[in-house]
Amino acid sequence: MTTNSTPFTRENITTLIYKRLKNKLMTGGYKPGDVMLLRVISEELGVSQTPVREALLQLVSERTLNMERGKSITVPVFDKKRLQDLRAIRLKLEVMAAEYAVQNITDADIDELAATHHRMMQCKLNEEREGTLLHNFEFHSTLYAASQMPDLIAIIEGLWAQTGPSLTYLYQPPFIHSQGAHPHLLVIDALKKRDTEGVVTAIVDDVNQYGSALMQRLPEEIA
């Protein structure tokens, strides 16, 4: 298989698989405790097991996945303390990304954020977990991309890949809804005014509000 004149090497395929798996982790496509079966993933993606194994081992090295004693690879089950720690780190970094984004955001970006939030809310009203998580990720990804700081974004995405599976605890019927205006709407309103403080306040509220709700929905054995 080639794209124009560039052949797909095993490294190319491994990178593509890595990105696909990481995106699925970030958007709640896997649940805590899921076993990442080589055969199943390779069949789903239509590739051999070797690049899948390499991609999984890369995610293990990044602490996104766990390697068990029997050499099976699983999605970690985080306890309350670990999730709170990850939320605190995310908050610091996402605030930084949002601050820089305000300086570079375009009107087209803001329109895209509004459209993405609308899609997310439609999925949320229908209690569609995967769509809700996907569009929520797209909203934050679009915002932070405007920071024009790819290294910062890469770190944030690594944290999302770790916490994404745990969001499946939160988005189970009945879905939790914001009291008052959704933080995303406050982000959009502040961006239109290029109000950095307003954007930061809304991001902090978003992360903390849904982080606290997640704590309340953790299974008893890990809460």
Query: What are the angstrom distances between the C-alpha of 71 and each of 38, 91, 118?
Result: 12, 33, 42
Q: Is the pTM of the predicted complex or chain greater than 0.95?
A: no
Domains of the chain by start residue, with CATH: 2-74 (1.10.10.10), 80-217 (1.20.120.530)
Confirm if 164 and 28 have CB atoms less than 8 A apart.
yes
Cis peptide before 174, with omega less than 30 degrees from 0?
Answer: yes
pLDDT digits (tens, 9 = 90+) for 51-107: 999 999 999 999 999 999 878 999 999 999 999 999 999 999 999 999 999 999 999
pLDDT digits (tens, 9 = 90+) for 119-148: 999 999 999 999 999 999 999 999 999 999
Query: What are the angstrom distances between the C-alpha of 204 and each of 22, 87, 99, 111, 186?
Result: 24, 10, 12, 22, 11
Confirm if 113 and 122 have CB atoms less than 8 A apart.
no
Q: Which residues pair with 73 in a beta bridge?
A: 67
